[in-house]
Each structure stands twice: as structure tokens, then as C-alpha cells.
Amino acid sequence: MRLSGALLAASLLVAAGACSPPAENTQEAPKAEARWCDEIPRPENEAFPRADVESDWFDVYRVAGDTFALVEARQFQEVISYLIIGENEALLFDTGLGFAPIRPVVEQLTSLPVTVINSHTHFDHIGGNAEFDRILARDTPYTHANENGLSHKDLAGEAAPESFCDPVPGEAERARFHTPVWAPTGVVKDGDKIDLGGRVIEVLEAPGHTPDALALYEPARGLLWTGDTYYDSTVWLYVPETDLDAYERTIARLAALPALKQLLPAHNTISADPARLGEMKDAIRAVREGRAAGEKLPDQQVLFQFEHFGVLTSQPLLDGARGDKESGGSGLTTWE
């Protein structure tokens, strides 16, 4: 998910490594040659002011007003969670890998009550959910399955030494890594408007990458938090719970939102140009109509490279197969 278009060779290694058969629990770490560590902290992120917080794991940037990006740059997923602060309360859009506690960082940024909403329930966005007592979640079977968390075995490759930049966390810390069980305290659905005091955030259901994907939209500022639906890298659209029909509808809907000024994606870089949504809409159509040249990878994956991003999908999805959308998923599962 962290792969930049400029690093195609590296991306192939990581794409292959992340998807070894037969199931998610055999996921491998990226190969050493594919290390991205020389690129972090990314210059695109360093263009934003750093927030004054103490953390040896999160890089925290102020991206727009009282909006902070909490970047986990030292693990190869380069996950980004966002803290959106109003006058009365705050929203935390995703809780990261869970490799290091996120709540102490959040509490350095706000003393207001914090509600968690997840962009979707793949492991890399729900890792800190268990640290919070206010979580709004989609009421879908997929979401409920993922409330059970994930074992270390399921995520072992994510905690392998090769998955980190220096200083690589110690063995004991890595051996503990898993996704704890978490419990929603309420439901969130399309069209919900969350008034934080002085700023109103709209919830948009954005199925495709997963059945329970969401985007957040702040019309007053032209901000759109895209989750994994869009980021400036190789967008992963290959797992069995991905639905390409739904993804196309979602991208078309997001691309048509008025007055967008900035995308705030969930991997790699904390800002993207809203014009990319229209480009992705065209790209995914070209992929599905057979007008784009893809590179076949192991595990039935196919990689399509475009100017500003890539699309990593799988042959069964291109052939119209429908995967299980109810049993949950880590985000690392391959087609059998």
C-alpha cells in the first residue's frame, strides 16, 4: 500500500511478498531490496508543519486547521490516521496498525472527547480501536467479523524485521503484535453529519476496497478523507472482499463532489490532488475494459501502472468472480 509509482521494481517485490499463498497468515514481509526507508520521512509530508507531540513511533503533522495526520512511517504500510478536532469534540479517522498505542498521541493533541470512525476494518486501520470507548462503525457482517481482531499469526509478516525501518522494534515487541478485539458503541451510515462544534463532517459510504469502506467529507473546507479508496501509490484492489463494481460507483461519486480542495488519504502521503479521483475513475474503467496493459504477478494478481498511481487487482475479480464479503478480512488475503 505504500508503493510509489516511481518504485515499480520495489512495488513488484512488495506486492509479491505481501500475497503469498495460500492464506493471509503466510503473508511475507517485503524483501530487503524493496526497502523504502531512504524515502521517509517523505518530502510531501515534511512540507506540512510538525505538531509538537512526543512519540517515538508516530510522525504527526498539522494538515489543515485543527486536523492532524498521524503517520506510521517506520512500518512499510505507512499508514495514516487523522485527528479532526472541532470546538466541542474530535473525530479520529482510523487508529493505525496498533503497533504502538495511538491514544497517548491523540491526548497530546486534544483534551476533547474523541470518537473513532474507521475508513474500513482492514487490520492496518483498526489496530488501536481497543484503546477507545467511543467507536462508531458500519453495521455490516464484514465489520462485525473484523471486530474479533486478528491474531499474531495472521499478521506475522507485518511484524517481521524487514517490515520496519531503523530502529527496528525489538523481538518481544514484534512478537506481541496483533489486532485486539474491539467493540463499536454506535452505528455510522451514509449521510450522517457529525457536528464537532464549528465544523461538520459528512459520512459517505464508499464500498469497493472493502464492503464497509467510508470516506469523510468536510464541504466547508473542501476536504475529503479517502481511506484506502484513493492514495498516490499502488491502490490495493485484489482481496476477495473487494468489489470492483462498487469501487467504480464509489470513485465516480467521490470524483463528482463539489469544491474539493484536498484529499487526505490513509497511506504514504497526507495530501493528494482531488483531480486524481477522475483519473482513477478512467483508469479503473480502462482496466476492466481490457484497454490497459497489466503485469501478471503471483497469486493471480495483476498490476496496472498509471501516471500518478497503480492499480493492483486480481484476475478472478477481473473475470467477474465474487468473493466472500461477510466473513471479514485482514486486507492481506489472496484468492485460493
Give the SS3 label for residue 80. strand
User: Could you tell me the smallest distance in angstroms from the CB atom of residue 153 to Zn ion?
Assistant: 20
The region of 31-39, 42-50, 168-176, 225-233 touching Zn ion under the rule CB under 5 A is: 225-233
User: How many whole angstroms separate alpha carbon 235 and alpha carbon 213?
Assistant: 14
User: Could you tell me the smallest distance in angstroms from the CB atom of residue 190 to Zn ion?
Assistant: 21
User: Could you tell me the smallest distance in angstroms from the CB atom of residue 175 to Zn ion?
Assistant: 23
* Residue 24 binds Zn ion (CB under 5 A): no
Provide the CA 267 distance to its chain's centre, in angstroms: 6
Give the list of residues 6+ apart from residue 47 with CB closer than 8 angstroms, or none: none
What is the residue-wise DSSP string for 294-308? Answer: EEEETTTEEEEE-SS
The region of 128-136, 223-231, 246-254, 303-311 touching Zn ion under the rule CB under 5 A is: 223-231
> In the chain, at which residue ranges do the beta strands (DSSP E only) sit?
59-62, 67-72, 79-85, 90-93, 114-117, 135-137, 186-187, 193-195, 200-205, 214-218, 223-227, 234-237, 262-265, 294-297, 301-305, 310-314
The region of 122-130, 142-150, 201-209, 313-321 touching Zn ion under the rule CB under 5 A is: 122-130
> Among residues 66, 78, 205, 228, which is the contact residue for Zn ion, using CB under 5 A?
228
* Residue 124 binds Zn ion (CB under 5 A): yes
User: Could you tell me the smallest distance in angstroms from the CB atom of residue 27 to Zn ion?
Assistant: 14
Binding mask 152-191 for Zn ion (x = CB under 5 A): ----------------------------------------
* Residue 78 binds Zn ion (CB under 5 A): no
User: Could you tell me the smallest distance in angstroms from the CB atom of residue 99 to Zn ion?
Assistant: 14
- The dihedral through the CA atoms of 214, 84, 191, 309 has a sign that is negative
User: Could you tell me the smallest distance in angstroms from the CB atom of residue 81 to Zn ion?
Assistant: 11
User: How many whole angstroms separate alpha carbon 284 and alpha carbon 279?
Assistant: 9
- Residues in the interface with Zn ion (CB under 5 A) total 2
Q: Which residues form the interface with Zn ion (CB under 5 A)?
A: 124, 228
